[in-house]
Amino acid sequence: MKIVVCVKQVPDTSEVRIDPITGTMIREGVKSIINPDDLSGLEAALRIKDVYKAEVIALSMGPMQADNALRECLAMGVDQAILLSDRKFAGADTWATSLSLSKAIEKINPDLIIAGRQAIDGDTAQVGPQIAEHLNIPSVAYVNEIKVKDENSLVVKRMFEDGYQSILVKTPCLLTVLKEINSVRYMRVAKIYNSYKDGLVEVWDNEVLKLDPHELGLKGSPTKVKKSYTKGVKTAGKVFEVDSKEEAAKIIIDKMKENYIL
Ligand code: FAD
């Protein structure tokens, strides 16, 4: 089984700053991490690899600094890491991002694609299902458990607020996974050393993907950000001096009842 895991490098904060002129995200000066849902996606793929003979490929689209995220994936145990990076990809919205990712996935030809449910910066939860649409394969979102049934099918469990749904899905397919699906393993010390040797992350530009330049980056993005702002706090907060946790809990409950929240 060949598994591609889509990994996005995101700023280590949910407070995304937007350039007021271009409407695009400002990444400079912000520490980057692997999107938490994607780490769980990686772990899910590696657990399949632990039991079956699977090959796991981490795929990311982003600037060259996303190379760091992919080296972390190598240190966790993936077999191959591919970074889609080209100036032509810059400014891509979810449509252009998912198109470029799907073109790369088509070249890799995997049985299973795992994406995170949602990225903590863009927050749209669109990229996974859009990749499946571009590839014309089934997709299942909100996955919280993956079981390999046989060579060509999986049984996956979707988690909702009020219950679960079990689905039998044929491969090739795409799953978007929730952070709660597992606890992520640590990187292996020996692999950390190896992952920082040169040449382990393959970089693919549009010479490799061969997409029409009009379908890439800002040019290929139908979404336009008109305006973005941070909602201000409207009323001043009130401070209560309390002596115990119980007293604090009682005040909170009373206030919630007063405001018909409880
Ligand atoms: P979601 O759809 O929430 O992500 C779900 C999952 O998809 C992730 O967990 C991950 O598994 C996968 N995934 C998502 N993105 C990637 C990726 N890049 N590589 C691998 N897997 C991925 N962002 C910038 O950084 N720079 C820009 O210049 C920029 N310009 C933009 C311009 C416009 C007009 C718009 C609308 C957005 C722009 N963005 C830009 C944001 C960018 O479109 C999104 O960050 C990106 O498309 C992913 O969407 P999301 O963050 O909502 O991911």
| 12-16, 88-92, 101-105, 180-184: least confidently modelled range | 12-16
Residue 45 confidence (pLDDT) above 80 = yes
What six digits make up the tokens of 221?
A: 């993005």
pLDDT at 117: 97
172-198: average pLDDT: 87
pTM for the complete prediction?
Answer: 0.85
pLDDT at 14: 57
Q: Work out the pLDDT band at 70, boundaries 50, 70, 90.
A: very high
Q: Work out the pLDDT band at 15, boundaries 50, 70, 90.
A: low
CA nearest ligand 1 atom 6, residue = 116
37-65: average pLDDT: 96
CA nearest ligand 1 atom 47, residue = 94
Buried b or exposed e, range 130-165, using 16+ CB within 10 angstroms: bbbbbbebebbbbbbbbebeeeeebebbbbeeeeee
Judge if the beta carbon of residue 116 lies within 6 A of ligand 1: yes
Judge if the beta carbon of residue 130 lies within 6 A of ligand 1: no
Match 């336009």 to its residue by tokens: 224
Q: What residues contact residue 82 under an 8 Å CB cut-off, 6+ apart?
A: 57, 58, 59, 60, 70, 104, 108, 201, 202, 203, 204
Judge if the beta carbon of residue 37 lies within 6 A of ligand 1: yes
- Collapsing DSSP states into helix, strand and coil, what is residue 243? coil
Q: Which residue has the higher pLDDT, 191 or 240?
A: 240
pLDDT digit string, tens, across residues 80-105 = 999 999 999 999 999 999 999 999 99
Phi, psi of 130 (to 5 degrees): -65, -40
Residue 27 confidence (pLDDT) above 90 = no
- How many angstroms does the Cα of residue 127 sit away from the middle of ligand 1? 7
Query: What CATH topology corresponds to 2-215?
Result: Rossmann fold (3.40.50)
Q: Work out the pLDDT band at 237, boundaries 50, 70, 90.
A: confident
Phi, psi of 91 (to 5 degrees): 80, 15
